[in-house]
Homo-oligomer: A and B are copies of this chain.
Amino acid sequence: MESVTPSAMAEATTSSSNQQTLGNSNNQQALVFMTDFGLRDGAVAAMKGVALAVEARLALFDLTHEIPAFQVWEGAYRLYQTVGYWQAGTVFVVVVDPGVGMSRKSLAVKTDSGQMIVCPDNGLLTWLAPKLQAIYEIDEEQQRLPGSSDSYTFLGRDLYAYVGAKLASGQLKLEQIGPSLKEINKLNVQTPQLHDGCLSGMIPVLDIQFGNIWSNIPKHWLEQLGLSLGDHIDVRILEGEVMRYHGQLPYVRSFGAVANGEGLLYVNSLLDVALGLHCDNFARRHGIGSGVGWSIELRRV
């Protein structure tokens, strides 16, 4: 059985509908925002106002604005988790930018499935890197919001929202945005491994609302280890070299297969291995985090 990626799902959906042709004047061109700005002040609304001034008919959406401040790692995963479910032609404006005003580049890229992303070159595209078909550096002097040259600390408004709206509306082509690039900055990801009967990977992110643990180990690797639904699996979670959790969990389809409060191993909505507690919070209960240094090991019982 093949693993179904988000992009594959989006394609499946698209193919059942022929109403998304870009350039159709009845169509909404979608612009999706993701930041670490929160929603307590006017920053996101200023970005949206700028985008609508470029083209009043754009359809604006939010991925999330609750990326913890400066956490590029988490932003990169939230973006990867979501992009594939949006139509070709959708533009994402992504701003998690601890280096604002420093020398890092600004990027505009296109994925294999046709979505575009505008963001700083600081690792936000780590997980999507294998799926990029085109990468351009934004010429920050040429492309910024007219009248904003005295402002150095809000590129989300003055550059990214403005350029994203130009792209989404078709006023600017991706190729016109600046020089083409071969390389982007990426975070250090630990790829899954199967070694001596131990299947290991990392915990890139938590399913934060419910406290489930998400790994980067694809479902089909479980089968390579000879595991199938109903088996019990030996699970270890490490932070660096320190073991933070050790237990045996049943591999089941969903939460309802175990009693309230009991643990389970399941395949999450991205078809990767995940851990949870039915109607409880695994991460909080066991003190588990995510990102750099957090790894997971699975073995047959």
CB distance from A116 to the nearest CB of B (A): 14
Instruction: Name which residue of chain B comes closest to A13, CB basis.
Output: B53
Number of A positions contacting B (CB below 8 A): 94
A113-B41 Cα distance, complex, nearest whole Å: 22
A286-B255 Cα distance, complex, nearest whole Å: 37
Asked if A147 and B12 make an inter-chain contact with CB atoms under 8 angstroms apart, the answer reads: yes
Q: Is A36 an interface residue (CB 8 A)?
A: yes
Q: Is A243 an interface residue (CB 8 A)?
A: no
The interface residues of chain B lying within 8 Å CB-to-CB of A257 are 101
Q: Is A188 an interface residue (CB 8 A)?
A: no
The interface residues of chain B lying within 8 Å CB-to-CB of A38 are 66, 208-209
CB distance from A131 to the nearest CB of B (A): 16
The interface residues of chain B lying within 8 Å CB-to-CB of A266 are 152-153
* Given A9-B148, A41-B81, A152-B253, 11 additional A-B pairs, CB 8 A: A4-B151, A6-B46, A9-B146, A12-B145, A13-B50, A13-B53, A30-B52, A40-B208, A40-B209, A52-B86, A69-B209
